Copies of this chain bind each other. A is one copy, B any other.
Amino acid sequence: MPRFRDPPDPLFQRLNASIGFDRRLAPYDVQQSRAHARALRAAGILDSEELARMEQGLDTVADELEGGSFPIADAEEDIHVAIERRLTEIVGPLGGKLHTGRSRNDQVATDVALYVRDHAALARQLAGSLMARLLELAERHAAWPMPGYTHLQRAQPVYLGHHLLAYFWMLRRDASRFAQVGESAGELPLGAGALAGVNWDLDRQEVARELGFDSLAPNSIDAVSNRDFVLDYLSAASICAMHLSRLGAEIVLWSSDEFSFCEVAEDFSSGSSIMPQKKNPDAAELLRAKAPRIASGFLTLAGVMHGLPLAYSKDLQEDKEALFDAVDSLELCLEAAERMLGGLSFHRERLAEAAADEFGAATDIADLLVRKGMPFREAHGVVGGLVREALDQGKALSELTPAELSRHSHLLDDSYYEVLRAGQWLESKGSVGGTASARLAEQLDAARVALEEVRR
């Protein structure tokens, strides 16, 4: 006599089933089941012969999953049910002992935690590879002047290597964040049962050790309700993807005819279906375009958990697709960014020409006046006037005559023209973290150390 008389409605099955997407948890589910089986043995629920058979059965399941021969039954609800069903087909009724002292609630939470931990580690590693690529590019372009921008207006020249390192440090923060995500996923849910704990004293500590968890979820209700680690991954991924969107956007911009600062290699470009001349930086555009879907994944799960009563509710099944999509998108973007940057070529002369814009020295002239005793705010005004005059006359700053200069300030003498000799303005930015070559060299050293830490 079954608990339910009526079979599920096909529409309900479609709505309810997660097998379409939770298959990718399969290796974690098998791994977990192995550890759980050993705990059942330690607690005397299985004998050693039963454990051996169960382990063999799980090995077979793992092989089938890996080899693609694992059969999904009609209307199978999820991968957890499928694996137990298949195990039972292989080892007989013994398979029915595996779920002793375990609920799908703590089982799923454990699988997802394992998945998050692995993919946080992978994201960290991929971030490291991209950092290495950025560092290598920065080293190679350490002495290439380019205009630095604020408000997309030329502001002050910087070295291209300095600019590229800005992305390096963003990625380093991402790598740190993914390390924290790993910690966040480091509490073992298994043993929480449905919500209250289980009727068996299984050795959770040993299971944790075996599965690589740092500690045990201290409260069984929280253990099955908690998806913070997924949110932590999604948040870290959102921020990382935002960084990549800025990188992508700059490459798109710099690849325009108007900027012509760089060119994406052909193997990362697309043509047009109608315009035979086109070579489009599609990869860079997609790096830019992927960020919102990942951030929306954070919102999806935060929205799903909004106001949700304890402990487990079916709504939590909606954690997976947002997570998997973010993982796929982010990992692909990190890899593609690294490869695309590898083939990116910069146009040194074009960059240098743009960097030579004399207006980029306006602050240096103001600071010259400061050195002569004028308060900065006043000096800023004086130089503003010079800029106005130059614009009105259609002259470069260095083309203003001494007579013209003196109308603006009697402090403006030959040193004015000296400041305007190019190159100085980059080297004068000698504060720690500034673009001056010596500081950039220090920064490259620091980057090498930081990269080592990420790769360790």
Contacts and interface: CB of A to CB of B under 8 A. Distances in A.
B364 A432 contact: no
Nearest to A168: B219
A434 B239 contact: no
Given A99-B274, A255-B153, A221 B291 contact: no
Pick from A170, A298, A434 the residue with the most CB of B within 10 Å: A434
A31 interface: no
Contact of A166 (B157, B225, B429): B225
A98 B363 CA distance: 15
Contacts of A428: 199
Contacts of A443: 218-219
Contacts of A177: 232
A67 interface: no
Given A151-B313, A318-B290, A96 B375 contact: yes
A55 interface: no
Interface in A220-237: 220-226, 228, 231-232, 235
Nearest to A384: B3
A216 interface: yes
Contact of A235 (B162, B235, B304, B312): B235
A285 B272 contact: no
Interface string A270-308: 111111111111110110111111011111111111111
Interface stretch (A4-12, A22-30, A57-65, A116-124): A4-12
Contacts of A180: 180
A95 interface: yes
A332 B193 contact: no
B303 A306 contact: yes
Interface string A84-116: 100010000111111111111101000000000
A409 to B, nearest CB: 11
A52 interface: no
Interface residues on A, range: 35 or more
Interface string A358-385: 0110111111001000011110111111
A269 interface: yes
A410 interface: no
Contact of A311 (B155, B357, B375): B155
Interface in A1-51: 1-9, 11-12, 14-16, 45
Given A151-B252, A376-B97, A200 B367 contact: yes
B312 A221 contact: no
Interface string A368-404: 0010000111101111111111000000000000000
A97 B313 CA distance: 47
A214 interface: no
Nearest to A208: B432
Contacts of A232: 177, 239
B4 A269 contact: yes
A211 to B, nearest CB: 15
A173 interface: yes
A445 B281 CA distance: 37
Given A1-B385, A96-B378, A292-B306, A194 B155 contact: yes
6 contacts: A6-B267, A156-B195, A163-B310, A197-B432, A249-B308, A280-B314
